[in-house]
Structure 1
Amino acid sequence: MAKTQLNVRVDEATADAARERALQRGVSVNRYIEELVLKDAGEVGQTFVEAAADFMKQYERVFAEEFGREPETLPGPPPGPERRPSP
């Protein structure tokens, strides 16, 4: 994968902490920062998926009533011909 340069400004204490943590992990500061960003992005994605699943579970009955299906059959997409037109 091609790399690009990203310049950031942080206070000296933050820079020292990043260097120390990278050293403890046995990686470069670049790799340490990259891992932090990737981890953060993954957590955000996971949080979204969990929230979406929780939403669907909470509103399962509403969707079932709207599309005329029982909750246990909801995982698949609603069939085209049976869908009601939008108001």
Structure 2
Amino acid sequence: MAKTQLNVRVDEATAEAARERALQRGVSMNRYIEELVLKDAGEVGQTFVEAASDFMKQYERVFAEEFGLDADGAPGPTAPAGNPEGLPGTT
């Protein structure tokens, strides 16, 4: 993969902390910063998935009532006629 050079400015204390952490981990400063960014990006994705899961749990009953699905997401007795999946816009 091609590499792109980034130039950043940080205060001396932050730069020294980064140097020390990279040395402790036995990696270059470049690799250390790269790992931090990748970790942060992964955490953002995980946070989104957790928030979406919490939302679905919170509104599960509302969706079930609206679309006629039982607790397992299968068509329930209230699914509209001609729409066994209980999905909007399908017949």
TM-score by length of 1: 0.83
Q: How does 1:1-87 map to 2 (within 5 A)?
A: 1-73=1-73, 82-85=86-89
Matched residues, number? 81
Q: What's the % identity of the aligned pairs?
A: 80
List runs of 5+ in structure 1 lacking aligned partners: none
List runs of 5+ in structure 2 lacking aligned partners: 75-82
More helix by share: 1
TM-score by length of 2: 0.79
Could you list the structure 1 runs, at least 4 aligned residues long, displaced by more than 6 angstroms after superposition: none
Compare CA radii of gyration and give the structure with the larger one.
2
Q: CA RMSD in A?
A: 1.9
